[in-house]
């Protein structure tokens, strides 16, 4: 398959999905290497396509116009509190799109999460602990922002209330 056509088809595959798709899975679909897909994604991004690379794979941003996207400011420390915060948001009907920290030197540092289930949380926490990685919030004394997707306002308000009760919400935002 010609590279231009493959890239067009990759973009169509990404646009028809609500969830991320791994680069290896895309490579299998088009019978090419993962490195070819990485290059194709880079070319598509350079052409202006908003393709997000998440821990779960690639996806096109802005697909769900019927969802509300809200931001909260949280603070906590330690892996147990991270996991509890994530589970609280997911169990109450939210989807974590990203984590953002405001670094004093680098400014905003944002990383996509795309966590929408307990399985995603389990995978995220395993990667975090297996790699002995520090979460972004360790750069800012535990303070961080999350962009959360919800289906309706009352779900967001319930998530905020629960996070406040647990002491994770900053400044009653």
pLDDT tens across 28-40, in order? 999 999 999 999 9
If asked whether residues 56 and 74 sit together in one domain, one would say no
Domain total in the chain: 2
Last residue of a domain, one of 39, 60, 81: 60
Are 93 and 157 found together in one domain? yes
- Cα→Cα distances 7→26, 54, 67, 144, 164, Å: 11, 19, 28, 35, 45
**pLDDT given for residue 63 in this prediction:** 53
Note the pLDDT of residue 85.
97
Q: Give the pTM.
A: 0.72
Specify which residues 99 forms β-bridges with. Answer: 111, 146
Which residues of the chain fall short of a pLDDT of 70? 1, 62-65, 172-173
Phi, psi of 24 (to 5 degrees): -65, -35
Report pLDDT for 173.
52
């Amino acid at each position: 398959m010609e590279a231009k056509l493959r890239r067009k088809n990759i973009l169509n595959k990404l646009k028809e999905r609500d969830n991320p798709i791994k680069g290896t899975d895309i490579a299998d679909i088009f019978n090419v290497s993962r490195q070819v897909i990485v290059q194709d994604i880079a070319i598509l991004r350079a052409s202006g396509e908003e393709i997000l690379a998440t821990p779960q794979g690639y996806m096109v941003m802005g697909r769900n116009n019927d969802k509300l996207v809200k931001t909260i400011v949280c603070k906590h420390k330690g892996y147990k509190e991270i996991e509890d915060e994530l589970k609280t948001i997911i169990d109450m009907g939210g989807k974590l799109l990203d984590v953002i920290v405001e670094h004093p030197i680098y400014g905003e540092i944002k990383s996509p999460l795309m966590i929408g289930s307990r399985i995603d949380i389990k995978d995220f926490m395993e990667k975090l602990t297996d790699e002995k990685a520090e979460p972004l919030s360790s750069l800012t004394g535990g303070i961080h922002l999350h962009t959360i997707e919800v289906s309706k306002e009352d779900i967001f308000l319930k998530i905020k209330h629960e996070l406040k009760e647990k002491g994770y919400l900053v400044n009653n935002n």
